[in-house]
Amino acid sequence: MAERSNVGRLYKSTVIGVPYLWLLVFFLVPFLIVLKISFSTTAIAQPPYLPVFDFAWSSIVDGVKEFVPDNYGFLLDDPLYIDAYLSSLRIAFVSTLLALLVGYPFAYGMAKAPAGLRPILLMMTILPFWTSFLIRVYAWIGILKNEGLLNQFLLWTGLISAPLTILNTETAIYIGIVYSYLPFMVLPIYASLERMDGRLIEAANDLGCPPVKAFWKITFPLSLPGVLAGAFLVFIPAVGEFVIPDLLGGSETLMIGKTLWDEFFSNRDWPVASAVAVILLLVLVIPIVFFQRAQAKVDR
């Protein structure tokens, strides 16, 4: 009996410990390395910063004394970085809202579809992931450019008399982000709607509640966990997106992902780029932590 209990404890510890070990190795350690680089100074060396991975406490203290005016303070003084943060948050917020407007009806239709049809709809939702993300973004260039499929179709139908300029605009970025991250919005909402007890709607209808009112009073509130999960899954990666703004938004697009790329690979300023990444992480993580605490208080 004692041996079985020990085996059970070991199994439980392993199940709990493996995810924490994964986070420690692949999140916390890389974050500490980036944080340490953000305390460093730029140098003509390989790698291009000093000191290099010296984790002595004295060097960290010296770094803290020096990093404010050199790295983090520099970000606050240069409006380029503040504008990049604000622009990224705005584009990510609008993209998340558009993904919700498109994804919720799709998820609702999947949940209400016949049981035999749901696996097919689910497969169609995840089917784009079978193709390379880069290839899918490049495909939108062929669709949105002036001589692309979309303009050719609109000209053929007579809806427009001259090609629309969509590529290299924010509109193209919104299209690319919504298309690329739409499954992350659809799947959590579908999971919430599919678990919902349909008898609640039947009871509301029997009591004379109109379908629209029943949706806003019953269906939507019960699907909020899926909506919030989908919003986080779209918003967080969209803030730091680099490929879509670079390929579809053009050189005039200002987003923090492109700014990070320029600092790392064009300017070779790894300490400033690391400071940008640290602040971006804090901007995303701190509100989520406060939200989760507030949600936990509400659930209690």
Q: Which pLDDT does position 69 carry in this prediction? A: 46
Band (pLDDT 50/70/90 cuts) for residue 192 is very high
> To the nearest whole number, what is the mean pLDDT of the chain?
84
Q: Which residue has the higher pLDDT, 295 or 263?
A: 263
Q: Which residue has the higher pLDDT, 233 or 8?
A: 233
Band (pLDDT 50/70/90 cuts) for residue 67 is very low
Look at residue 291 and tell me whether its pLDDT is greater than 80: no
Look at residue 90 and tell me whether its pLDDT is greater than 90: yes
Q: Which of 96, 103, 252, 279 is nearest to 165 (CA)?
A: 252
Average pLDDT of 221-241? Answer: 92
Look at residue 59 and tell me whether its pLDDT is greater than 60: no
Q: Which pLDDT does position 270 carry in this prediction? A: 83
Look at residue 262 and tell me whether its pLDDT is greater than 80: yes
Q: Return the C-alpha torsion angle 81, 250, 127, 154, nearest 10.
A: 140
Look up residue 266 and give its two tokens. 């064009």
Q: Is 211 within 8 Å of 205 (Cβ atoms)?
A: yes
Average pLDDT of 271-276? Answer: 86
Residue 223: C-alpha distances to residues 107, 193, 206, 233 (Å):
10, 6, 22, 16
For 91-120, write each residue's pLDDT tens digit.
Answer: 999 999 999 999 999 999 999 888 889 889
CA atoms of 229 and 192, how far apart (whole Å):
10
> Which residues, 6 or more positions from 268, have their beta carbon under 8 angstroms from its beta carbon?
42, 48
CA atoms of 239 and 88, how far apart (whole Å):
5
Beta bridge partners of 83: none
Q: Which pLDDT does position 70 carry in this prediction? A: 67
CA atoms of 111 and 105, how far apart (whole Å):
10
Q: Which pLDDT does position 57 carry in this prediction? A: 46
Band (pLDDT 50/70/90 cuts) for residue 49 is confident
- Give alpha helix (H) positions in 196-219: 199-206, 211-214
Band (pLDDT 50/70/90 cuts) for residue 193 is very high
The least confident of 60-64, 160-164, 183-187, 250-254 is 60-64
**DSSP letters along 246-280, please?**
IIII-TT---HHHHHHIIIIIS--HHHHHHHHHHH
For 131-170, write each residue's pLDDT tens digit.
Answer: 888 899 999 999 999 888 999 999 998 888 888 888 989 9
Q: Which pLDDT does position 8 carry in this prediction? A: 65
Q: Which residue has the higher pLDDT, 228 or 49?
A: 228
The string over 203-229, giving b where at least 16 C-beta atoms fall within 10 Å of a residue's C-beta and e elsewhere, is: ebeeeeeeeeebbeebbeeebeebbeb
Band (pLDDT 50/70/90 cuts) for residue 68 is very low
Q: Which pLDDT does position 4 carry in this prediction? A: 61
pTM score: 0.84
Percent of the chain as helix, strand, coil, to the nearest 5: 80, 0, 20
Cβ atoms within 10 A of the Cβ of 146, count? 13
> Which residues, 6 or more positions from 134, have their beta carbon under 8 angstroms from its beta carbon?
243
